[in-house]
A and B are shown apart, each in its own frame.
Chain A
Amino acid sequence: MKLLGRDIDAGALLRAARERLEARGIRDEALPVEAEPEPVLEPLSFLVRALEEDEDPTVPIPATERGAPASLVRRVFRLACQSLIDEVLERQRRFNARVREADAQLSAEVIQLRARLEALEAAQRNGDRAALLAPRKPRRKRRG
């Protein structure tokens, strides 16, 4: 273990701490920490997967995703009929949310592409062919 700090003598502090541990007859162990970076998700793919997962409203919500237990009266009511409805509604709500997100994402992409197309068309009208040529393909070397 390393100690970091400008205002401390890290080596001496650590040494003293280790000596005291030894004197107390204690062995210290490091807790393993996973330091891998968080994943980066591609949004369109994620949303498609999320839509697939929530597509069928008859599939119950996984137990890990259910809310906290309700009060006794509500629980009785839910036992009777509400739980099914709740689950279906929850599924529907999510499905709708994902559809909205996907739509937002896709349409934003479309808007961006449309703006780019307009810029290119404007450049073409102005005779600025250079804008149309990028990116260039690498030339083949002539043989012989």
Chain B
Amino acid sequence: MAVHQLVPHFRLGDATAQAAVQFRALLRRLGHWGGLYGASRVPGTEALVQPLQALRVQPGDWVLLHHAIGSSLPSRLLHTQGRRGVVFHGLPSLRLHRGTPAERSVLAGRAQLSGMAAHVSVAIGLSEFASSELSRSGYGEVHTVPLFVEAERFAEERADPALRARLDSGALTLVSVGPMTREAHLEDLLALHREVLRIRPDARLVIAGAVDPTLGALESEAARTPGVTMLGEVSHGERVAVYRSGSVLVSMREQDGSGVGLLEAMASEVPVLAYAAGAVTATLGGAGVAFDEKRFALLAEVAMRLGTDPRLRGRVLSGQRRRLQVLGPGRSEERLSAALESAGLGRPPRPRRPARRKPRVGIVVQRYGPGITGGAEALAGQVVARLRPHWDIQVLTSCATDHLTWANALPAGESRVDGVSVLRFTNLRPRPMRELNARSRRVFGQSLDLGEEEAWMALQGPILPGLWRHLSERGGEYDGFVAFTYLFVSTAWSVPLVGDRTLLVPTAHDEEPLRFDAYAEVFERPRALLLLTPEELELIDRRFPRHARARVVGVGVEPPAVEPGRFRTRFELPGDYLLYVGRVERGKGIPGLLEGYRRLRAALPDAPTLVLAGDASMDVRAEGVRMLGRVSEQDKWDGLAGALAAVVPSPRESLSLLALEAFAVGTPMLGNAVSDVLRGHVERSRAGGTFQDAASFVEAVARVRRERAAMARAARRYASRYRWERVVDAYREEMDAMVRR
């Protein structure tokens, strides 16, 4: 069964959106899949959140509503089939909104809250304070599931450097972060700041968060007050910069519904000074400093001490760090699990001890089938072929053949490919390459929150709700899974669902998305990681030090009988040639290769021909360059055997099957020096060279020409390590250990 979530208005950075994304991550870890649905969504979130109209509730499904004012969703929830629940963050204070345009919305929101009480099976408050409001509103089964913050997202290096530098000063700095609504009591922050100014005239108050438009007069007053900086809405990196620039985080909120801001401050190592109301006391749990009366002159003295006395500050920060450890994601996961179990939604069943001879294994991969090119997909195909005799395999994949669009080219449902059962699931949304590229340019290298990272991941696709429902509901029918390619959500959102029964083949290389913290669980939750090269292990060690047990397994390379002459004749290549086989596109480093080759032609009158084989998505026409298009397997092997060298210009490789295949037929390899993996192959094999620019490319080609015979011997020696029987044994050992557990 699925656990869907309804959000009135989905906007990244908003509390409801943050909670929904966090809940979905927690639900995945509990083995439950569910979609996010918004009554409205801001542009750019369409891949992450579906429109409400797309909600299809199946028998046994759950629907959780995140309640907020101005929402039309309560009536929808009441008439939704399936089991219903409410997630409650808190509502604006009626007292503070009397006589304002929002008064009636606040009233309506409170009436809606009471109106749903009799019709839901479970109510979840995001704090004890929110839960007590739920109980008062008539809810019977109330659970508290606090939100969490991932401390690493608030580390110093995540702070926006420009804002960090701008705010950096020796002055005592009070900071306030979060939407500046009436509940934030801007007037109280200003009153405190004025008192601090009386002690320290250079003191500053930095306020980050969008200001409620109805607070224009207060905003003007703030702008006139010396030392006050109003930043408005800020990005995640800027948020971290504000926290990290603060001497003290001050909260004057009288109705803090979730306490997330306090957790963020604690993660950013800034002492908290907060009015003890709402979720504050329960969130702080004795950490930080809370106060029960707003005596601004007195509080100014306390803030002064807290911001400037190193011993006091050290003690408070140390206590906050301890508190943060208690309030980690594990606690939220436990609480949510308890809430769902009490309402009858336990964890999905695990497989019974198999009586079958062969373990039943699901292979999760983004695309699968004959004619589908791609390193990871080819590897998955080879693993299936080699392990078929030992496992009862079902491939779980998309209907796509094209990795750029994920268009549903093949029919959904079960089919057989080379005698193996393949279950295909429909991709919900084509991949919008232009939008994805634009988003990538905007977010890569930036400090992001979970929602922003997941929005990028969803845009990348493929979105396979059928696969996630299948794993959630029928995952227990498999003894284990092998999932390929960490990058795509087909794997990234599948692995947590069946976590410790999964062997992940991440095919990771050094690329921007690998810096996303959202991928941590993909590397941490599987039973084991099966890696292709020692460089991949080093990379994962660096990026996700808490990763699951990892083992460098590699692949097997077994060339067929080759006839280089056959390739030369077929493609009319009488002289020396360099060969590249793969997708001919910018991301594969083809422009750099063409530039190097142009220099080679200029430097060597008898330069070898450059032969490119594969589907092209760019123009490669140039003197001496032959574009063959896609070639057969046999042509590939024949071509590699006859080449002066294989060239691998891609800066990002997790293995480079092409290099290993070239080595196996005694052909050296010229690889892009930017890739650790290609450098590793060259250093270990001594069968080729690397290049980082046109000049080094010319040099490397000349060296291969001089030392081709010795390199060929070294290449064969190196390739002999890559035998399928070793790979198959490793996969079987890991699966058997998992099944026997």
Confirm or deny: A46 has a beta carbon within 8 angstroms of a beta carbon on chain B. Answer: yes
The reply to whether B94 and A40 form a contact with Cβ atoms under 8 Å apart is no
Checking B104, B281, B287, B291 against A7 with a beta-carbon cut-off of 8 angstroms, the contacting residue is B287
Q: What is the bound-complex CA distance between A97 and B75, given in angstroms?
A: 10
A44-67 contact mask (Cβ, 8 Å, vs B): 1 or 0: 101100100000000000001111
Q: What 1/0 mask marks residues of chain B from 162 to 192 whose CB sits below 8 Å from any chain A CB?
A: 0000000000000000000000000010010
B295 touches which of A30, A47, A50, A112 (Cβ 8 Å): A30
Do residues A108 and B79 form an inter-chain contact, with CB atoms below 8 A?
Answer: yes
CB closest residue in chain B, given A39: B94
CA distance A63 to B94 in the complex (A): 19
Residue of A nearest to B91 (CB): A38
| Contact bitstring B660-701, A, C-beta under 8 A = 1, else 0 | 000000000000000000000000000000000000000000
**Nearest CB on B from A107, distance (A):** 7
The interface-forming segment of B133-141, B480-488, B501-509, B651-659 is B133-141
Docked complex Cα distance between A50 and B295 (Å)? 40
Closest to A10 in B: B289
Residue among A34, A37, A43, A107 with the highest chain B CB neighbour number at 10 A: A43
B527 to A: closest C-beta gap in Å: 40
Would you call A20 an interface residue if the criterion is a C-beta within 8 Å of the partner chain's C-beta atoms?
A: yes
- Whether the pair B305, A64 counts as a contact (CB closer than 8 A) is no
Q: Among A80-88, A98-106, A128-136, which stretch is in contact with chain B?
A: A98-106
- Closest B residue by C-beta to A61: B101
Q: Tell whether, in the assembled complex, residue A37 and residue B136 are in contact, meaning their CB atoms are under 8 Å apart.
A: yes
B118 contacts the other chain (CB 8 A) = yes
A14, A38, A68, A108, most chain B CB atoms within 10 A = A38
Q: Does A41 contact B (CB under 8 A)?
A: yes
Q: Check A43/B298 contact, CB under 8 A, given A3-B290, A7-B315, A65-B104.
A: no
B 206-219 binary contact with A (CB < 8 Å = 1; else 0): 00000001000000
Q: Counting CB contacts under 8 A, is B738 at the interface?
A: no
In the complex, which residues of chain A have a beta carbon less than 8 angstroms from the beta carbon of B287? 5-7
The residue on B at minimum CB distance from A54 is: B104
Kindly list chain B residues whose C-beta atoms are within 8 Å of the C-beta of A29.
295, 297
Given known contacts A4-B289, A8-B315, A105-B115, A38 and B93 CB-to-CB distance under 8 angstroms: yes
Interface residue? A73 (CB, 8 A):
no
Q: Which of B103-160 contact A (CB under 8 A)?
A: 103-104, 107-108, 110-112, 114-115, 118-119, 133, 136-138
- Known A2-B291, A7-B316, A104-B75; contact A33-B254, beta-carbon cutoff 8 A: yes
Q: Which residue of A lies closest to B289 (CB)?
A: A5
Nearest chain B CB to A137's CB is how many angstroms away?
24
The yes or no answer to A123 lying at the interface (CB within 8 A) is no
Determine if B292 and A47 form an interchain contact, defined as CB atoms under 8 angstroms apart.
no
Of A3, A38, A46, the residue contacting B94 (CB under 8 A) is A38
- The interface residues of chain A lying within 8 Å CB-to-CB of B315 are 7-8
- Does A13 sit within 8 A of B, measured CB to CB? yes
CB-CB nearest in chain B for A31: B294
Smallest Cβ-Cβ distance to A53: which chain B residue: B104
Do B301 and A40 touch across chains, with their CB atoms under 8 A apart?
A: no
- Residues on B with C-beta less than 8 A from A16 are 301, 305
Question: Is A18 in the interface zone, CB < 8 Å from B?
Answer: yes
Given contacts A7-B318, A38-B91, A40-B137, contact A1 B291 (CB under 8 A): yes
A56–B236 Cα gap in the complex (Å)? 47
Shortest Cβ gap from A97 to chain B (Å): 7
Chain B residues, CB < 8 A from A112? 118-119
Q: How far is A93 from B79 in the complex, measured between Cα atoms in Å?
A: 21
Q: Is B100 an interface residue when CB atoms closer than 8 A count as contact?
A: yes
Q: Return B148 CB to nearest CB of chain A, in Å.
A: 21
User: Which of B75, B289, B298 is within 8 Å of A101, CB to CB?
Assistant: B75
Complex interface: chain A residues within 8 A of B298 (CB)? 1, 14, 17-18, 21, 28
With A and B bound together, what is the CA distance between A13 and B291 in angstroms? 12
Given A5-B319, A8-B312, A105 and B297 touching (CB < 8 A)?
Answer: no
Chain A contacts for B114, CB-based, 8 A: 40-43
Which A residues touch B99, using CB under 8 A?
Answer: 64
A-B contact pairs, 10 of them (CB 8 A): A3-B291, A7-B318, A28-B295, A30-B293, A36-B95, A38-B95, A42-B111, A46-B108, A100-B75, A107-B79
Which A residues are closer than 8 A to B by beta carbons?
1-8, 13-14, 16-18, 20-21, 24, 26-31, 33-44, 46-47, 50, 64-68, 97, 100-101, 103-105, 107-109, 112
